[in-house]
Structure 1
């Protein structure tokens, strides 16, 4: 059994599943499924967590995930406030390779596609010259049926193979195919860190969430994220800080404390080391680019 197995609601022999998610916030549990997933974000912002990767997602982003890759699209806190003006909206395609059958993949014409799918071992950001046109092609699959739907989906795969640049996001595969027990433990830890990163946390407190000793938890976490707890927490806090710098008028000191940093000097050091510039310059450059 796998970590939080997520069963895609579809007929057992359906090759391509077209799904629209439109709700206040996206499904926020760490999960995995055997289908390859193509996600087009239309509305909504938040954090994407996949293995050792913590990053932002927002409107216009396109992501491709391989089989059984644990992931979570965690919407920002504002989307949990029942604000009708905010919504999370995405279009998702699920490719069920098992439903195609062995004979299909044995055909010479399908070898390139088979190799492409087999190499998808993580999560990728899809970069295209004309992303809007690609998303519109995905939308059109909703109106296509039977063979036309399959042909249209394979045409999209052809674009991904030959016209898109796939930027690998997670570098480690340690979270690939976690056991159910490991996955549940990891999901609890990640959820706790996302919810509580705004305050000071001790190693003992986080280890207790996993019901592990300090030493066992450090090994468990490092093996599956390739990061120490401190590094992971800093990246999580920096992600929140960057959003506050872009979208609020708070002072830099206030943002540092609100996001969980103990003092301003530590925040500045971590920000420069990770982002490559000071928080002040980051805000100034973002403001300049908007003009």
Structure 2
């Protein structure tokens, strides 16, 4: 197993993780919002369970919906964030369960404990971020929920049981692209602060007729400089990012409302129905009407 351990000290989005004394991994429940709810990365792997609320998850260049029960494994150095929407400042106690660990903790002993070699493939895939199927997530979450009442060897055995479930999940979905992992390089503290400002600005305004110049002005950059900067840091162009946010809103409206599709097109920020239908079909493989039928089965 080859682990690409990226550590960028001094960066505004680098999260320093301290393991509890006498433990090889960290288990905790996180409230929302809190100081670490930012676009961040760290050398440790992160197993992230959403217990409450829905919103947008950012994993590398992936933008997607999250709902209660979503379980994701994020690899070393892969930027990530989960944003509950609407961002109305509402406090959500214990929204997440987070497990963070150094994969080498389990890779090293595999030379003596052959069974641990099964983790290699799981950890390799997790470098791109993995979202697990509902069935596997449900089984794993039942164990994760109880881990707070355990300690020592009992807690470690529980984590290994979770890994065993995830290894068998052949329906786990890869999130970030290999292109993003190749090209991503974190900027200075100032640049990363600008990125956080830009992402917040776009989340608040993507339903409007927002232009590249608007986002560039919001962070004090020229259009050309902002365009290059945004692509380098998120893996998406400005247009792709806005389109992803609008598609997320359209999917949500299709699933949760009976609004006509033409109306949803404009509610989600698209300017015309033909463009909406084309982008929706290209991205999801389904027409909006077919997506609505499929989404409502679950």
With the shorter chain as reference, the TM-score category is 0.7 to 0.9
In structure 2, do the counterparts of structure 1 residues 284 and 126 end up closer, same or farther at CA, with 3 Å as the change threshold?
Answer: closer
Greater shift after overlay, 149-158 or 30-39? 149-158
From the superposition, tell whether residues 87 and 264 of structure 1 become closer, same or farther in structure 2 (CA, over 3 Å): farther
The range that moved more, 1-10 or 22-31, is 22-31
Task: Quote the residue 1:126 is aligned against.
Answer: 132
* Aligned: 1:221 with 2:230: yes
- For residue 135 of structure 1, the aligned residue among 136, 141, 147 is 141
**Unpaired segments ≥5 residues, structure 2:** 1-8
* Pairwise CA RMSD: 3.2
Q: CA deviation at 1:108?
A: 6.0
Give the conservation status (yes or no) of the 8 Å contact 2:75–2:129: yes
Q: 1:279 Cα deviation (Å)?
A: 2.7
Unaligned runs of 5+ in 1: none
Q: Flag the structure with more relative contact order, 1 or 2, with Cα contacts below 8 A and sequence separation at least 6.
A: 1
Q: What is the match of residue 80 of structure 1?
A: 88
Q: What's the secondary structure of 2:28's corresponding residue? A: strand
Q: Report the Cα offset of residue 236 of structure 1.
A: 1.0
Aligned-residue offset at 1:125: 0.6
Q: Using a 3 Å threshold, how does the CA distance of structure 1 residues 142 and 33 change in structure 2: closer, same or farther? A: same
Find out whether 1:95 has 2:101 as its counterpart. Answer: yes
CA distance 1:26–1:56, shift in 2 (3 Å): farther
In the alignment, the residues of structure 1 paired with residue 72 and residue 60 of structure 2 have an alpha-carbon distance, to the nearest angstrom, of 15
- Tell whether the 8 Å contact from 2:46 to 2:73 is kept in structure 1 after alignment: yes
Q: Following the alignment from structure 2 to structure 1, what is the Cα–Cα distance between the partners of residues 17 and 140?
A: 23
- How far off its partner does 1:193 sit? 1.3
Give CA-to-partner distance per residue, 1:227-264, whole Å, 9 cap, x none. 32112211110101111122134343433333222233
Q: Distance in 2 between matches of 1:102 and 1:276?
A: 39
Tell me what 2:197 maps to. Answer: 188
- The equivalent residue for 1:154 is 160
What secondary structure does 1:43 align onto?
A: coil
* Preserved contact between residue 184 and residue 235 of structure 2 (Cα < 8 Å): no
In the alignment, the residues of structure 2 paired with residue 252 and residue 284 of structure 1 have an alpha-carbon distance, to the nearest angstrom, of 12
**Residue in structure 2 matched with residue 167 of structure 1 by the alignment:** 173
Q: Separation in 2 of the partners of 1:268 and 1:88?
A: 38
CA-CA distance at 1:17 after TM superposition? 1.4
TM-score by length of 1: 0.81
